[in-house]
Amino acid sequence: MENAVNASTAGSSGQIVVAGAGYAGLHVALRLTAKLRNHPVVELTLVDRHDYHQAITELPRVAGGTRAADAVRIPLQDMLATRVRFVQTEITGFDLAGRRLLTGAGPIGWRRLVLALGSRPNDFAIPGLAQRTLSVYSAGDAERVWAAVSNALTAAAAAADPEQQRRLATVVVGGGGATGVELAGELAEILPKVASRLGLAPDRPAVQLVEAGTTILAGSSPQLIDKAAGILSDLGVQVRTNAMVAAATEEGFRLTDGQLVEGGVFVWAGGVKAPELVADSGLPAGHNGRVKVDRYLRVLDRPEIYAAGDLASVTDPRTGHVLPPLAQVALEEGETVARNLDAELEGRQLEAFTFHDKGFVVSVGTRRGVADIAGVTAGGRLAHLLKDAIEWEYRQSVRHLRGWDPVAI
């Protein structure tokens, strides 16, 4: 592990640099490591601000207090082979003309760059939202949500007025996509137990899910949406659709129809956008600032730069729609980028990216979930077990890929 760039490699033109060790970037690094055995002079450098990979799909459990934040921080040193040079530093900009990544540890030159810096919560320029809401996009964010919820319930238990208790003990989640639904479900199931421990009536806490559109889990099958809505209702989550947030104020979410949604904790899960760093880079930007790529996942007019994961704006040629920001998309894109980098080294044709949809699984609470797989919709315990199995399989696959490296074993 390095936290400073060796002067002899800064500005070097012989290396492949992967920016970001999330789902996409880590998988590029892991898969490429094995392919580099025939290319001993090629340097592979992975750069991230953290020395751990975050299993973001598990964050709702951290925010709901059922999983420790450290359990979703997977140390990179346990996963990376010696062949990969890891640099822990903040990436601060790009020198596109000089082919250098600008970082807190100095510039890092690339021959090929892979941009896999993920995304940030999108506040859609709604006044007060960034200042007054928490997000759930890192283990630290999720820890803060759980701390805020615990503090709010403690304050509610100390309050004498039932109305004040109810307001303090209400968690308002903005955004009814998969993240919002998972978070609302997890909290709704846990809060009554926390309330009881604090001497607060178990029916005092409440969870409200506020969605601007006509439905939660927009884009999913009607059957899946019905099943998810049923479980949320069973858990006591109050779902408000067609409820667009106009502003976040001291009092709560002010909706466009003038209604006020009050609460003790406000979490925003209303969508994502590209990190500011990329928005300011001069790279071609599509919807929500995501970087436009060609069918080989190379940035448009920048064939020496690949982009993958949430950062990349990849249009599915079969539907004409941009693929959603999902871990399964990021993993598949990472795989294609690794194969294309290898193809360049071996002088083979590049491979066009094709997304193979494995289905959609959302946990709703600590025991149930919903899933759409191969046209079949499931709801209940089985779907939750499936989500557990996907997360377990993901961790196993990382270990397996680590084992691929002949130099490390």
Tell me the residue number closest to ligand FAD, measured at CB.
Answer: 22
Q: How far apart are CB 27 and ligand FAD at their closest, in Å?
A: 8
Q: Any idea what DSSP says for residue 51?
A: S
Q: How far apart are CB 350 and ligand FAD at their closest, in Å?
A: 21
Q: How far apart are CB 233 and ligand FAD at their closest, in Å?
A: 22
What are residue 305's DSSP bridge partners?
113
Is the Cβ of residue 164 or residue 315 nearer to ligand FAD in the bound state?
315
Q: How far apart are CB 54 and ligand FAD at their closest, in Å?
A: 6
Q: How far apart are CB 354 and ligand FAD at their closest, in Å?
A: 17
**Which residues are near ligand FAD by CB under 6 A?**
20-25, 48-50, 56-57, 59-60, 90-91, 116-118, 136-137, 178-179, 275, 277, 309-311, 325-328, 330
The torsion region of residue 128 among left (phi > 0), alpha (psi -120 to 50) and beta comes to: left
Is the Cβ of residue 25 or residue 255 nearer to ligand FAD in the bound state?
25
DSSP string, 208-275: EEE-SSSSSSTTS-HHHHHHHHHHHHHTT-EEE-S--EEEE-SSEEEETTS-EEE-SEEEE-S-EE--
Is the Cβ of residue 116 or residue 338 nearer to ligand FAD in the bound state?
116
All residues at 6 or more sequence positions from 71 whose CB lies less than 8 Å from its CB, including other chains: 58, 62
Is the Cβ of residue 174 or residue 275 nearer to ligand FAD in the bound state?
275
Q: How far apart are CB 25 and ligand FAD at their closest, in Å?
A: 6
Is the Cβ of residue 256 or residue 396 nearer to ligand FAD in the bound state?
396
Of 305, 338, 312, which Cα lies nearest the Cα of 404?
338
Is the Cβ of residue 56 or residue 153 nearer to ligand FAD in the bound state?
56
DSSP string, 287-340: GGGPEEB-TTSEETTEEEEEE-GGGEE-B-TTT-SBPPS-HHHHHHHHHHHHHH
